[in-house]
Amino acid sequence: MSHDTDLCQLSRALKQQARLQGFDPVGIARLPGSARLQLRTAALQRWLEAGHQAEMGWMAAPRRQAADRLLEGARSLLAVGLNYHVASNREPGALAIARYAWGRDYHRVVSQRLKRLGRWLEAQHPGVGWRACVDAEPLLDKAWAEEAGLGWIGKHSNLIHQQRGSWMVIGHLLTTLELDPDQAAKPLCGRCTRCMEACPTAAIREPFVVDSRLCLAYHTIENRTTELPKAISSSLGPWVAGCDICQEICPWNQGSIPSSEDPDVQPRPWVLSLTRQQALSWDDVTWRDKLQGSALRRIKPWMWRRNAAAAAVESPPNLNGSEAQ
């Protein structure tokens, strides 16, 4: 069997194993990446120089600009997507929480499954190097997912898949093996600017450029000040943990988007029915209990109360005629 044939078979087998772990779409990219990946890296540097990262200093980590700094001898990566869109709706009058955080902490879910893939790969090729990466790692995760063909980066900076939309979290498995790469995704946003127009704070300053200093998601999750800026609190609407406005309005997220049956992404009941009264009255112990094993633990109890106090409760929007987001 030739080297190329073996390479192709291993790449197909690895992607099949990834699908068995619940990932879809999946794809492979070869390091150091194409010219477009290098342009994405340069764009990150310009974004940082403009101060759009706000207080997220970790975004400037030098390792983020070179994937091989995360794993010595890395030659390829497997990119995976985990669909978190479910057939559930926020209850009328409830506060709004971003969909990605409705279920278990995706960092743990994706990391655990990627590590299983790494161990499988090591069983096929003893001694191979690998490293599982979720978005907490200093990697240009969306750019590499685009490079591996999972989808394209939309003007709202989220990754969009042609059939699944942008309702997915992504992860990567770096490896020292030379795998068979997939074709990079082609951007299909065209002239559409709905996400830019829908953002209540105009945080999407230009296509593909999100200013965290104006982003509701940033302020509800990362901002550690006792009071939210007036421009944010006046635009908050029902959002108290993240924001899905730019995704809800996206044409690629309309229609029959697949709904996941994965138990790890199913919503905790309180997430869909959280009222302002509950958010303001729950003590720290109650909050810690509610947030056990959740990506929302990043939001401290006092921040929940701060956000809820500023929120304007409303009924969930019905953007596609069939489902409230």
pLDDT in tens, 197-215: 999 999 999 998 899 999 9
pLDDT band at 64 (very low <50, low <70, confident <90, very high): low
Task: Tell me: pLDDT of 94 over 90.
Answer: yes
Residue in the structure block whose two tokens are 């229609």:
255
Residues 6+ positions from 84 with CB-CB distance below 8 Å: 99, 100, 102, 103, 106, 167, 168, 169, 260, 265
Q: Which residues have CB under 8 Å from 3's CB, separation 6+?
A: none
What does the pLDDT read at residue 316?
A: 46
Report the C-alpha gap between 286 and 301 in whole angstroms.
9
Dump pLDDT digits (tens) for 273-298: 999 999 999 999 999 999 999 999 99
Active site residue 6: no
Cβ(245)–Cβ(199) under 8 Å? yes
Catalytic pick from 24, 68, 135, 264? 135
pLDDT for res 39: 77
52 has a pLDDT exceeding 80: no
* Model confidence pLDDT, tens digit, residues 105-164: 999 999 999 999 999 999 999 999 999 999 877 788 999 999 999 999 999 999 999 999
- How far is residue 231's CA from residue 235's CA, in Å, rounded to a whole number? 6
Q: For the residues 46-75, what does the mean pLDDT come to?
A: 69
Nearby residues of 211 by Cβ (< 8 Å), 6 or more positions away: 50, 52, 203, 204, 205
Cα 229 to Cα 57, 97, 120, 189, 201: the distances in Å are: 20, 20, 48, 32, 12
More confident residue, 4 or 129: 129
Rg (CA), the chain: 20
Stretch 11-26: mean pLDDT = 98
Residue 314: its pLDDT value, please?
A: 61
Instruction: State the pLDDT at residue 164.
Output: 94
